[in-house]
């Protein structure tokens, strides 16, 4: 592994909101770091002081405690500033997390010694347009989904790539995913598994009806435009965030983002496939019935 020259002196420890157990684990990590001369600020993703500190360049590292939702929220804050993130899984699934709860005391000394790597993950940018007016621009770590609303009927979706028609769908929705997101919603609807270091855009339909049912992998430089026709409403959602209404005259354009999310990793490149195999064999998010 490569040793990093920049020392870690100040860390944001981001705990999932509303969990006493995770907060207590955060305090334990904070105390462990303090004994080694590292200032750890314990906070959550909703704290405006966290955003201000990141914007001001106060932190050398962000440690995310929780599950994939916490990691995604932390990534949206950290990526525009190139701030590395270390994920410690204290949630149910935690596919994006590097360490489990019992691992951090073994690996944090290696972190402070610079014995880790940075894995740069591609992000997307999704813009929602109404005619020539930009309604919103969103950064994407996992996926952007354009889908039906509350009415359980498919919608008509038209997609172009670089201005040329790709496909028309009658479906519940369409996913535009990063390689990181290929193991999230895209995998659940039958999409391919892509190594996280790739830089491609994955297009996968959700429950297509008499339409093209194959995933399409596009190069990083592609520009995808998605439009819908529906008499019962459609929505757009980015990384599981609250959906935004999409009208029949609206367009969602998806391109590679200028940002990358930077994950701290300790393991060899095969860790991705070992983790994937473990989760496939026993999905911890199912729980007991």
Output the CA torsion sign for 280, 170, 161, 131.
negative
Q: What is the CA radius of gyration of the chain?
A: 20
Helices 48-55, 68-78: crossing angle, 10 deg rounding = 40
**Cβ-based neighbour number of residue 280 at 10 Å:** 11
Catalytic residues: 68
Give the Cα separation of 14 and 46 in Å (integer). Answer: 10
Q: Residue 264: how many CB atoms within 10 A of its CB?
A: 20
Distance CA 64, CA 91 (A): 11
The pair of structure tokens assigned to 34 is: 């303090």
As a three-state string, the secondary structure of 53-95 is: HHHCCCCCEEEEEECHHHHHHHHHHHHHHCCCEEEEECCCCCC
The distance of Cα 38 from the centroid of its chain, to the nearest Å, equals: 28
Which residues are registered as beta bridge partners of 146?
A: 174, 236
Joined together, the tokens standing for residue 174 give: 């369409």
């Amino acid at each position: 592994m490569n040793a990093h020259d920049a020392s870690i002196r100040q860390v944001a420890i981001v705990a999932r909101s509303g969990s006493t157990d995770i907060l207590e684990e955060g305090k334990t990590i904070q105390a462990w770091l303090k004994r080694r001369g590292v200032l750890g600020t314990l906070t959550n993703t909703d704290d405006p002081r966290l955003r201000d500190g990141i914007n001001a360049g106060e932190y050398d590292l962000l440690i995310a405690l929780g599950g994939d939702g916490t990691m995604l929220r932390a990534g949206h804050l950290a990526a525009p500033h190139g701030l590395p993130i270390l994920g410690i899984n204290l949630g149910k699934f935690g596919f994006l997390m590097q360490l489990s709860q019992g691992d951090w005391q073994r690996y944090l000394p290696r972190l402070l010694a610079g014995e880790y790597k940075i894995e740069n993950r591609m992000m997307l940018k999704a813009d929602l347009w109404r005619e020539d007016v930009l309604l919103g621009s969103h950064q994407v770590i996992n996926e952007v989904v354009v889908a039906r609303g509350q009415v359980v009927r498919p919608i008509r979706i038209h997609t172009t790539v670089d201005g040329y028609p790709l496909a028309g769908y009658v479906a519940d929705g369409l996913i535009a995913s990063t390689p990181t997101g290929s193991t999230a919603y895209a995998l659940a609807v039958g999409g391919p598994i892509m190594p996280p270091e790739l830089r491609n855009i994955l297009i996968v339909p959700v429950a297509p009806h008499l339409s093209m049912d194959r995933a399409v992998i596009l190069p990083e430089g592609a520009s995808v435009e998605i439009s819908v026709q529906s008499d019962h409403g459609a929505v757009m959602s980015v990384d599981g965030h609250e959906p935004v209404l999409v009208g029949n005259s609206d367009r969602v354009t998806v391109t590679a983002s200028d940002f990358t999310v930077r994950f701290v990793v300790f393991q060899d490149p095969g860790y991705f496939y070992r983790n994937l195999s473990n989760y496939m064999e026993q999905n911890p998010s199912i729980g007991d019935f």
